[in-house]
Amino acid sequence: MQAAFHLQRGSTPILVSMPHVGTHIPERIAQQLLPIAQQKADTDWHLPLLYDMLSEMGISTVQATHSRYVIDLNRPKDDVNLYPGQDTTGLCPLDTFAKEALYRAGKEPNAAEVNQRVSDHWQAYHDTLEQELQRIRAEHGIAILWDAHSIASHVPRFFQGRLPDLNFGTANGNACADSLQTALAHCLENAASANPDSAYTHVFNGRFKGGYITRHYGQPQANIHAVQLEMSQCVYMDEAAPYAYRPDLAQKVQPLLRTLLQTCQTWANAWKKENGTVL
């Protein structure tokens, strides 16, 4: 069985999680699915390539290998709706973002199969997130979890109109220190002021406030801070199949991503200095 994730350890207080970049669907599950599932349209495409600066920056990463159609790692394992009253896809999605059925009639996963997928994939990913955050906090006194996502800029099922380019979620400020969110906001404002013609639109805690990962692991009172970035895919790729990566677009936003992550590092260093942690 293919591993549920790839882990690379770094040397900084930052851990980047990519729970929706996986594309692998085990053959047994693939046989239950309709052909539309093979397009894997709802994948967070190309994020490892977009974030190719992480290794150089010494940032730890955890990347899922399996498609979110197998199991959604950013949902609680009891499948409680994170946005009560709003339409969402579940722990083991039955349809695409476009409301196209994923499973052949009568082949939807039952409770026992869902539990098996939790055991095989969900639990391993989350155990690793927990262990890495504890390791980083033990080493640095503080840990920052950056949960990296992307989505098509227009998904009528979930929101009206076009999404902002950069959608930050901090669980309405509960998942990280106010000063970290403020530092990121200032970073974006400074970037826009320096180059207004190529500024990216952004919002904090708009339609996306952070999924299970942000809400569960963000514990600022315990010196673990979490931020989700949901990026509109038109910023760096083609949104229509075959979902091609666009280096001409990506190279424009990558410096801002680097600066945002450097802002997290600078903020963590300031916290360590203030709290007497050895740098």
Q: Which residues of 45-56 are buried (b: 16+ CB within 10 A; e: fewer)?
A: bbbbebbeebee
Beta strands in the chain (DSSP E): 5-8, 14-18, 60-64, 143-151, 166-169, 202-204, 224-232
Asked whether residue 128 is assigned to any structural domain, the reply reads yes
> What's the token pair of residue 70?
């197998």
* Percent of the chain at pLDDT exceeding 70: 99
Higher pLDDT, 198 or 136: 136
List phi, psi (to 5°) of 258.
Answer: -60, -45
Question: pLDDT averaged over the chain?
Answer: 96
* Listed range (59-63, 86-90, 225-229, 273-277) with the worst mean pLDDT: 273-277
Which tens digits make up the pLDDT trace of 253-265? Answer: 999 999 999 999 9
pLDDT at 2 over 90: no
Phi, psi of 228 (to 5 degrees): -105, 135
Q: Given a cut of 80, is residue 197 above it in pLDDT?
A: no
pLDDT of residue 277: 59
Integer angstrom CA distances of residue 141 from 34, 192, 222, 262, 275 = 48, 32, 10, 18, 9
164 assigned to some structural domain: yes
The CA-atom distances, in angstroms, between 251 and each of 62, 116, 256 are 23, 40, 10
Domain that holds residue 100: 5-273
Quick one: average pLDDT of 209-221? 97
Instruction: Please check whether residue 237 lies inside any domain of the structure.
Output: yes
Report the pLDDT value the prediction gives residue 175, as an integer from 0 to 100: 98
Residue 33: inside a domain:
yes
Do the domain assignments include residue 193? yes
- Which carries the bigger pLDDT value, residue 55 or residue 274? 55
Q: Is residue 279 part of a domain?
A: no
Q: What are phi and psi of 122, to 5 degrees?
A: -60, -50
What is the pTM for the complete model shown? 0.96
Pairwise CA distance, residues 179 & 174, whole Å: 12
Q: In CATH, what number is assigned to the domain containing residue 199?
A: 3.40.630.40
64-115 pLDDT, tens digit per residue, is 999 999 999 999 999 998 898 888 999 999 999 999 999 999 999 999 999 9
Helices (H), 103-155: 111-117, 123-140
User: What pLDDT, in 10s, does the model give residues 101-158?
Assistant: 999 999 999 999 999 999 999 999 999 999 999 999 999 999 999 999 999 999 999 9
Residue 145 domain-assigned (yes or no):
yes
pLDDT above 90 covers what percent of the chain? 90
Is the predicted pLDDT of residue 279 greater than 50, yes or no? Answer: no
The mean pLDDT of 29-56, rounded to a whole number, is 98
pLDDT digits over 235-249, tens only? Answer: 999 999 999 999 999
Q: Rounded CA gap, 146 and 80, in Å?
A: 23
Kindly report whether the peptide bond that precedes residue 242 is cis, defined as omega within 30 degrees of 0. yes
Number of domains observed in the structure of the chain = 1
pLDDT at site 199: 85
Whether 278 maps to a domain, the answer reads: no
